[in-house]
Chains A and B, each alone.
Chain A
């Protein structure tokens, strides 16, 4: 499902003395099946964009295209439920949204709101609990008896149970330890590939954006200032610096090495494995040349 923001502007508390503009003429097209990262500092407008992606906020100017629905500023938008079912959002610290007596009831809350039968929703819950790496016995427990990491997984299962076509992730690994972080990010990558999801990752981690995304958009002071592939975005450190952003550690390392040895490696590398391979190749060339 394609998502398109056309000259979207948004102002909080519009028409009051406390009005605050958060987005200015944002143009962003997210094609179906892509893994899009939206990067920016706190306050850059990335969480305001996030809330537009399933019409929790409606643009105060411009238009928003979500699949075949168009939401235009100033016009009433009725019945947004189909949009919300198709675009699932995993909010930052999603464990804060748990409320039911049991994990099972919490997971089926979403799908049942969208008219899925209890039987079908329960079936989904059983499949998903395994997918997020938790035992089936946990379904009967109270979510409030679980550890923080387990609660996060339950909340994620609750969003996945709606079977969205687009999944929006807001700093999904905040506060997790390194292992938890990697497991969660790998889980979303697997889902992205297997279910052909459109994945939108809102983050301030350059590392995650470089490793997982195939398209990147940079937000700065309420504007979408740069879009492109990870190679295009991270290859241009000077441009990034003007938005007070740094290239990922891997890219910075590659650049330092290149400066030291006085030549460029073949490609811009985005993972440690790629970088190790490129350096090895350069070392071999060097030996052969001697």
Chain B
């Protein structure tokens, strides 16, 4: 599998002149391969959003190298690299630049000098992918939060990026909006195999990922599949995260002496295990 992005021993501080201030990111390394969905989790202030800003050159690390498509990220190739990475931010209102849905999707295309005819084609395609093609001329104030975030995703997709970064893109949405956005990302993954990196503290979002990176105090605390990470159990709780519902319930049931075969991340698995271990005759 091709390497899309790699961080190699990255250290970053917002105040390089004050040695007493803790680094925002401390010696973090990881690699993202083509077609993967990676989730970076951690409580607020764990350094996860700083990492997102380092990845597309909004910030530059004091130590370490970031490679995108095997090329080190520098001031020179910055714009080229940004066009390969779509990014969706937290606040749906503060990233909507265009006057209407279609204008906003076209914004990045205009910036990259894409010819008009090609733009029209790409804007429509991208809006179809996020199922917003019926609302081409809607103004942002008439859209829900979830719809605005889907427009933002379309705006990123229009440039045909190699990697889509979601920086807490669902944290300001209502449950309906969150579900909409996650369904959109899942459908995109199925249809196009898009590589996704999501930064989140929503565990239901993290479970969907292939691999999780768990940040704490600017350091990478753990890395692994969601089941490996959630197996950390109480350590996660101590570091400000929660466990998925099924795992919490499994834990409580085991305490009460109910027989179960293993740990479960999804409710379906737990129901089945409860049935086979305790009720099936």
Instruction: Establish whether residues B44 and A177, one from each chain, have CB atoms under 8 Å apart when the complex forms.
Output: yes
Chain A residues within 8 Å of B98, by CB: none
Chain B residues within 8 Å of A86, by CB: none
Q: Give 1 or 0 for each of A275-290: 1 = CB within 8 Å of chain B CB.
A: 1110110010011001
Instruction: Establish whether residues A178 and B278, one from each chain, have CB atoms under 8 Å apart when the complex forms.
Output: no
**When chains A and B are docked, how far (Å) is the Cα of A43 from the Cα of B146?**
13
Instruction: Establish whether residues A179 and B249, one from each chain, have CB atoms under 8 Å apart when the complex forms.
Output: no
Instruction: Establish whether residues B267 and A272, one from each chain, have CB atoms under 8 Å apart when the complex forms.
Output: no
- Given that A42-B144, A179-B240 are known contacts, is A272 also in contact with B249, CB under 8 Å in the complex? yes
Instruction: Establish whether residues B201 and A178, one from each chain, have CB atoms under 8 Å apart when the complex forms.
Output: yes
Chain B min CB distance to A227 (Å) = 21
Label chain A's interface by main secondary structure. Answer: helix
Question: Given A182, A273, A280, which contacts B258 in the complex, CB threshold below 8 Å?
Answer: A280
Q: With an 8 A cutoff between CB atoms, is B281 at the interface? A: yes
Q: With an 8 A cutoff between CB atoms, is B253 at the interface? A: yes
Instruction: Establish whether residues B174 and A261, one from each chain, have CB atoms under 8 Å apart when the complex forms.
Output: no
Q: With an 8 A cutoff between CB atoms, is B271 at the interface? A: yes
Chain B residues within 8 Å of A283, by CB: 258-259, 274, 278-279
Question: Given A174, A253, A279, which contacts B172 in the complex, CB threshold below 8 Å?
Answer: A174
> Number of contacting residues on A, CB 8 A?
37
- Given that A178-B240, A205-B175, A279-B253 are known contacts, is A148 also in contact with B44, CB under 8 Å in the complex? yes
Which residues of B come within 8 Å of A, CB atoms?
A: 43-45, 90, 144-145, 171-172, 174-177, 201, 203, 240-242, 245-246, 248-249, 252-253, 255-259, 267-268, 270-272, 274-275, 278-279, 281
Known: A176-B44, A206-B175, A252-B267. 19 other contacts (CB 8 A): A148-B44, A174-B172, A177-B43, A178-B203, A178-B241, A179-B241, A180-B43, A182-B242, A249-B245, A256-B271, A257-B271, A257-B275, A260-B274, A260-B279, A273-B252, A275-B249, A276-B255, A286-B279, A287-B278
> Can you list 27 pairs linking A and B with CB atoms under 8 Å apart?
A42-B144, A42-B145, A42-B177, A147-B44, A148-B44, A178-B201, A178-B203, A180-B43, A204-B176, A249-B267, A250-B245, A252-B267, A256-B267, A256-B271, A257-B274, A257-B275, A260-B271, A260-B274, A276-B253, A276-B256, A279-B274, A283-B258, A283-B259, A283-B274, A283-B278, A283-B279, A290-B281
